[in-house]
Structure formats: C-alpha cells, structure tokens
Amino acid sequence: MTTLADEARIALDNLADRGAHLFNPTLRLGVAGLSRAGKTVFITSLVHNLLHGGRLPLFDAQSGGRIARSYLQEQPDAGVPRFQYEEHIRTVLEDRLWPQSTRAISELRLTIEYQSASGWSRLFAPGRLSLDIVDYPGEWLLDLPLLEKDYATFSREALERARLPSRAKMAEPFLALLAGLDVSRPADEPTSQRLSAAFAAYLRACREDRTALSTLPPGRFLMPGDLEGSPALTFAPLPLEPDRAYDRDSLAGIHGRRFEAYKTIVVKPFFREHFARLDRQILLVDALQAINAGPEAVVDLEAALTDILSCFRPGRSSWLGSLVTRRIDRLLVAATKADHLHRDSHGRLEAVVRRLVDDAIERAQFSGARTEVVAMAAIRATREASVTEGADRLPVIVGTPIAGETIGGQRFDGETETAVFPGDLPEDVSRLLKADESGDRLDPLTFVRFRPPRLERNEAGLKLSLPHIRLDRALQFLIGDKLA
C-alpha cells in the first residue's frame, strides 16, 4: 500500500506530532463513513454536547462531574480547512435543517479539562486532553482500497459492478461507449475525455440513486476540485484481456498510467498526511437505506466496508514504536439513524452491521485493536410511542417529516408531526444478504427524513443539549480511557 519513502514521511510526521503532544496531550479521532451516513451531524452533536454539558450518562467523565470545561481551540494543521461547527449547529438549531454533507477534509480541535478518577493523579495538575477531530468525505475513503489494486483489477471490478442489474441502466451510456472499443489502438485525448466524462456521470448517478449503492471509486471523479480536467482524472475502466501487456501509447496503456498517477497524486497524500496519523476511528454506516434497497445493495455495502476496513492500521504499538508509527487502537463501527427505528429493533440493527464487518473486525482484534459496533443516532429526530390498531398495539416513532416527504400518498409540509410504524428488522440477518428464491420477500421498512428536533427547555427556561441515542456510549469507547 505504501513505499519506503511514504513510510519514512509518515514516521517523520508522527515524530513531530509526538513531540508536540509531550506538552499538550492530544488524541486524533478520524470520522469516516460512506455518503449520507451522517458524519457532519455526528461531529456537530459531539461538540455541542461536550460544550454544553449534554446528557451523557454512559460517558463516565461527564456523568461523574469530572469535566471542568470543554472549549474550542485553533486547530494544529494550518493547511486544513476548519470544520464549520458554528455554521452547522446554527442550521440544526435555528433552521431545523440538516447540515450539508462533507465536501472536503476538515479538522476541529476540542480541548477538555478534567479531573482524573484516580485520587493519586488528582494530587497533580488537572488533566487536559485536546481532541483533534478529522472529518473527510466518504468518497475519499473509498479510494483507499485502490492503493492495493492495479489498473487491470480496478477495471475488471468496476465493469462488473457497472453491469449489475441495479446499475446497468445508470451505466448504459458509459457501457455503450465501450462496446466495440479497441483498447489496444493508439490513444487520443478526445476519446479519453469522452470515456472519463461518461464514467463520472455514471458514478454521479449512482451516488444520487436512493438504492444506496456504496462502491463508487474513484472518489475525486465525484468532487474533482482543482484537479478537474487534469490527466489524473481523465481515465476510465476498460475491458482488458487478462494477462495481456498493452503498448505504452495505447488507450489501455495511457489509462493505466493515469490510474497510477491518480493514486500518486490524490490517494497517497491523503493516506500519508491524514489517514496514517489517526489514533482512534469511528466508521459511520447507513445500513437502513441499503436494507430497504434489497440484498444486492446490502452485499454492495458489505464489499465496500470490507475494502475500507482493510486499509486501517489497527493494533497496539509499543511505547518506542509509537513514536514513529501510529496504530488505531480503538475502532468503532456505528450504525447511524437508529432513531428511524423503534428501540426494539436497535439490537437487530447492530447485528446486521456486525455481520457486514465481522471478518474485518476479527482481523483488527487479532492485531490488538479494540473494536465495537453500536446502533446510534447522533441527533435524535424522533420519539417513541405506541398506537392501537384493532386489538394490537404498534410501536411507532413520532417526528416532523421534512417538507416534501410522503407516506402512503400523504405529502408533508415540514411543520406537521406524524407517527410512523417503521417495521421490524428480521431476526435472521442472512435473509438480508440474499434474495429469497421461494418468493417470500421481506416487507420494506418505512423510512422518511425527519427534521431536527426543537430543543427542550429546563425549568429555568434554558435550552437543553441535543438529544441523541447512544452518543454517550460512543464517546466512552472512543475517549473515555483518556479521561480516566
């Protein structure tokens, strides 16, 4: 995945970080996830609850009254955009809208001053921990597995996915360009531009599709930025003959070199400068959308998560080794949007995601990293209730659907509350991973997008912090030991 030169630069970066941390203990937390998984919402809620003393009963330092104060500081990396917390929290609280998805890497430093739980440690100065939160687009995350693939492997896998029944319609214009194409002929720029533009259009169509297709590399084709039009973004997967060597100036040869340039210019710097410097990691997964789309989308999500988790560097380093090598010693996989289900199904949602990442988590645990899976909602947009239907009482969730959402033909205006019976997840997780040949189909779950909640007020009239589901459990796992 990396060369000796890459490893040397990673080691130098880590030495510089460790030197700074001697005077200011710091933990770098990576927040990753696929598109629509809720990374921006998670960071916004985490920061808001820590700044405002949120209700976090399972987060020991907070519930035990040992946190003196939390505050934002200037981030250490001057070349990385700041995570716009103030803008995002204003969107949630005042507009009651969800903030825009992550479009570029960003960072935020939150410093926590606390009293240690140890009586001996309390004899010395109060503790302080700077939490550097690193947020990056899910599309960039999906690029990391490309580091271990050559152009032939990338092309084969990309074209296999494009021909899947769920993608064939979206990929039709791109596949039509490939029909009868002689990839061994001399390359010309107009052909390369048409192929890359059609391939990028297909990837954008997949991202916008509500069937929750997950595997969409190369990610920069979806958000090119200042690389738009560069040779590193002007290539596409081609139908190559197995084990054939193509001329350097052929269409296959040019696109193969540009694929390698993409990894060198785009993927490796991201891995080296950001990904390889993380101490802890949370991976957010929107499994509900894939579940509703059917077995193909669930299998697609499983493949994406397996590839992604293979890129992490989990494990424990020795004290001396940690000076030059970062290892992610805690990895949390969070199934988001748990507030779209009644709590009776939360355990099943955890079981689904655990099944999807089971093999990857086993490898991480073997290397010494602690792992956990949790069903959570960083901001809880619904509350639970029950309704009577005949002799039955149905568990429902109650919230305000976003304007334009429809349920049973009713279109909502963004102001009206409603009760929704979301349905139940199956006890047998394997039913979600394969089509039932008997024709016994799972009932689809009822999902609508809800507006963020109005904040409650206490007896003194002060607004309380953002409600959540198991954010405290996530915090305890990710940073609780550092505040002990």
The answer to whether 48 and 465 are in contact (CB under 8 A) is yes
Which positions ≥6 away from 66 have C-beta within 8 Å?
Answer: 60, 114, 115, 116, 117, 483
Alpha-carbon distance of 112 to 480, in angstroms, equals 12
**In the chain, where are the structural domains located?**
4-136+274-380+470-483, 144-269
Sign, CA torsion 405/407/411/416 = negative
Could you give phi then psi for residue 50, rounded to 5 degrees?
A: -75, -35
pLDDT tens digits, one per residue of 408-447: 788 999 999 999 888 888 777 777 777 554 445 566 677 8
pLDDT at 120: 55
Residues 140, 142, 143, 146, Cα dihedral to 10°: 170
Mean pLDDT is lowest, of 75-84, 95-104, 268-277, 319-328, for: 319-328
* Average pLDDT, rounded, for the chain: 84
Residue environment code for 184-194, b if the CB has 16+ CB neighbours within 10 A, otherwise e: eeebeeebbee
The answer to whether 339 and 377 are in contact (CB under 8 A) is yes
Place of tokens 């995350």: 141
Residue 255 pLDDT > 90: yes
Q: What integer is the mean pLDDT of 376-392?
A: 89
Place of tokens 């981030």: 75
Alpha-carbon distance of 268 to 127, in angstroms, equals 36
Alpha-carbon distance of 71 to 363, in angstroms, equals 36
Alpha-carbon distance of 251 to 179, in angstroms, equals 14
pLDDT at 315: 46
Selection from 124-128, 174-178, 369-373 with the highest mean pLDDT: 174-178
**β-pair partners for 377:** 469
**What is the CATH code for 4-136+274-380+470-483?**
3.40.50.300
Place of tokens 């101490």: 279
Cis peptide before 401 (omega within 30 of 0): no
Please name the helix (run of DSSP H) or strand (run of DSSP E) that holds residue 273, with its range, or none. Answer: helix 268-273
Nearest CA-CA partner of 166 in 212, 199, 219, 218 = 212
Alpha-carbon distance of 208 to 23, in angstroms, equals 46
Alpha-carbon distance of 447 to 141, in angstroms, equals 26
pLDDT at 306: 80
Alpha-carbon distance of 89 to 232, in angstroms, equals 36
Q: Rounded to the nearest 10 degrees, what angle do helices 189-208 and 168-178 cross at?
A: 170
What is the percentage of the chain residues whose pLDDT exceeds 70? 84
Q: What integer is the mean pLDDT of 120-136?
A: 79
Give the long-range contacts of residues 424-431, CB within 8 A, separation 24 or more.
424/344, 424/345, 424/348, 425/291, 425/341, 425/345, 425/348, 425/349, 425/352, 426/348, 427/348, 429/348, 429/351, 429/352, 429/355, 430/355
How is the beta sheet containing 418-420 ordered, strand by strand?
A: 383-389, 392-399, 418-420
